[in-house]
Structure 1
């Protein structure tokens, strides 16, 4: 049976393979990478060719759908390595793509063919500055390492819910997280970044250096360069702000309307409670007994490091496991559209058996800190919707016949909710499927998209960064 799982999280006082079409050409490219590029790299950087262990590890992505294809993987260690890899790809007229956590899921990634993969995993340092108010992290660091490293220094910052994703890429698309009610989005924490541009040059991007790019990378950053390191705000953890109470409740699908109505009322009543966040997940739980109400109820007392596990977002949880095809269809909302979500729920409950691992997720974080930042100050377009929702279609990648079927179901469920709400689609770029309009991804204000398109034409005129929901000019 399909069920609704609701997690309420609050502060301690609150509620809580590369495929080579031409083997001869591939061989030449491999030889050239080893003979021409490798000598230009730093001593600890590496070149990985297909069939090597390093190549396969770098290619191991979260979703087995629309994956990029690479001829060579460059494992970088320094910013200069990144620049050299970009310049090499340009000289060879090959596409390139940076790799960190491997959680990107847009269909545009499948447009990378015979590319150069720039593997960032060794650029994962985290250093708190002497001022105690900021830190610098490398371009390939994962979210869990940021949380743990800061915690050891008595600090914390806004970070996403999932431990195994890269920490930088979510910030480039805005970035939602547990502490956003107090401090704003991940993107709002950025003080400066080192960015390798499409021509291979590296620049500092901040409010005083390339301020136009600084505006753009905070919401549409995947389009403009590769971040080699980022300086961002950090905050003291104190006995008053480091503990979280958490409740998880599971309900039968017959309770959908009651649960969503209660959540809508909760969001109105506790709108200004910065510590309060909630998640809902609609999924199949065949083992539950529908006679109970709620079907289960668990409570936890934890800190920022422990919030991921109960939501299956930790490194050992379901959200971090590789091997399935995942398609995401995001949409926003200021409240739960109960009528539309009932239609979507009924569609989910009637999915064919091969698709019944799919679910609908909603992330409801406090928006006070997000909305305190002027909307025009960054490229992130959606500071008004308090709910980040998405349909996740999940199935075995061995059955390619399911690709189209899964996409049709996912789009239909999203469309049902959006149409029922009467609002236009606002699609979170980090979750985007890839069929969304430019306006849905980057904002309906004409000035916003116009500004982004002009910056794209200036900094990436040849579309070298067109493989993650590109801004089209």
Structure 2
């Protein structure tokens, strides 16, 4: 059951009776809890806050569930704060009792290091639903309970946009802390480029604001390494006018395996001409019924049909087995992509690992070879379902941002993001999947134009290291700030800053 503030003074059993070694929902596994969490935390929470146990019948529907159980943290209990003061109190109380805590926004994290967090307090931020457009300031301020889709719809209604990532269900603030690559970055830069301030709870439990004029060093660190520095309660973004009345062209093309070279050649031909209005996602997978690969390209063009048509024609020249073309509000494009299957990217509960790489040039031979190898890996493993997932963006705006406005994120020249997206049946196959697919990442990195592995931190597997996540040149400054703001290393388990 969950316990609102009003119920905490009743006689309550110790947590040991509510959680057992059999409780495995979203990583709950704590055979020897040390606190009566309800008694310790309950009296200091607001009336709107609540405490949730994994044994509650409605637990899976009343708390945010993690996107994947792969390498997940383990929790003693979930607490859903309702006010900023609740978050402060949880952090300070957890510190007092030496209990780790872990904030959950949309639950879309998936990395190799989060399982270093054990028996933590899960701070579920889904109650923070602020989503307010200030017309006078031309800004939108949102809480950590707001997804890309919520964010986009509010802006669309007032004729505005801010660059976001691709999947409508992903948490806006969580993605921004990594950078927020996405299909609209050619027109507006990365999500962090439109960020103007954040309000966060620090490791000490203080509420502070970070912006260009207040705690500016912290604001620099938040833009690319934010998960290492606090729990963001709200973020304010400066909006841009939406092109074409906020409507875009969305087109999908499906190809059989015969396109597993010509499609990559087309992509290569755009290495120096890729339009700023276009975003592109390509997925390639093994069709088990036929034993052959199939490829799907989904493009968005933030402009009128006549401007998009020359690019559509180039896809059509590759003879897709089917295709479609439609115009829609930009906030609908995520779900509509890939012939209306875009919502599949929001499914939760699947065991998922994902070695990834970034590129600034396209190598058709490598992409063709990697896809063929990946198909063979899946053929040999009936329990493995995989997708070679590629996203392509224009980088003109991202690279033109002045150095003093860029924040930490080192990947402004990442024109292409490539992920080997593995879905399989559990931990018993982790080592095999990694050993089979990590070499594919290495091959992609070798011909990426960087000469070494680079990847987007929000897509990172977790073994790449801080120089890849944050940029080698940024590490000394980050280490200094980490010592200042989080000296006991309360945050950043997934992608830690060495200090």
Using the size of structure 1 for normalisation, the TM-score is: 0.88
Q: 1:47 maps to which residue?
A: 51
Aligned-partner SS, 2:200: strand
Cα deviation, 1:210-248, whole Å, max 9, x if unaligned, reads 10010010011111111000111123336x252211222
Q: Secondary structure at the match of 2:249?
A: strand
Deviates more, 1:85-94 or 1:54-63: 54-63
Gaps of 5+ in 1: 1-16
* 1:185 Cα offset (Å): 0.5
Aligned with residue 286 of structure 2, among 284, 287, 304:
284
8 Å Cα contact 2:354/2:459 also seen in 1: yes
Contact 1:171 1:186 in 2 (8 A): yes
Query: What CA deviation, in whole Å up to 9, does each residue of 1:156-204 have, x standing for no partner?
Result: 2211110111110110001112221121101111111101111111100
Q: Does 1:390 align with 2:419?
A: yes
Counterpart CA distance in 2 for 1:314 and 1:82 is 38
Describe how 1:24-423 pairs up with structure 2 within 5 A: 26=33, 29=35, 31=36, 33-53=37-57, 55-57=59-61, 58=63, 60-131=65-136, 133-237=138-242, 240-270=244-274, 273-286=275-288, 293-311=319-337, 317-351=343-377, 352-375=380-403, 377-397=406-426, 400-421=427-448, 423=451
Distance (Å, rounded) in 1 between the aligned partners of 2:58 and 2:481: 36
**CA distance in 1: counterparts of 2:255 and 2:232, whole angstroms:** 43
Cα deviation, residue 251, structure 1: 2.0
User: CA offset at residue 136 of structure 1?
Assistant: 0.7
Are the aligned partners of 1:164 and 1:315 in contact in 2 as well (CA < 8 Å)? no
Structure 1 residues 265 and 279: CA distance shift in structure 2, 3 A: same
Instruction: Name the CA shift for 1:153/1:120 in 2 (closer, same or farther; >3 Å).
Output: same
State the SS of the aligned residue for 1:204. strand
Provide the C-alpha distance between the structure 1 equivalents of 2:134 and 2:249, rounded to a whole number of angstroms.
30
After superposition, the C-alpha distances for 1:37-74 in whole angstroms (9 at most, x for unaligned) are 21211110111123124644436221121111111111
Secondary structure at 2:113 match in 1: helix
Q: Greater CA deviation, 405-414 or 197-206?
A: 405-414
**CA distance in structure 2 between the aligned counterparts of 1:293 and 1:130, rounded to whole angstroms:** 46
Aligned partners of 2:293, 2:229: CA distance in 1, in Å?
50
CA RMSD of aligned residues (A): 2.2
**Stretch moving more, 314-323 or 212-221:** 314-323
Which residue is equivalent to 2:471? Answer: 443
Q: Structure 2 CA distance, aligned partners of 1:94 and 1:314?
A: 44
SS at match of 1:461: coil
Query: How far apart are the structure 2 equivalents of 1:415 and 1:467?
Result: 24
Match of 2:13 in 1: none
CA distance in 2, matches of 1:151, 1:76: 29
Deviations 1:2-61 (A, max 9, x none): xxxxxxxxxxxxxxx321232xxx2x51x2x22232121111011112312464443622
Q: TM-score, normalised by structure 2?
A: 0.84
**1:252 deviation in Å?**
2.5
Segment of structure 1 superposing worse, 298-307 or 432-441 = 298-307
After superposition, give the CA deviation of every residue in 1:110-154 in whole Å (9 maximum; x if it has no partner).
111110000000101200013151011012212211112222333
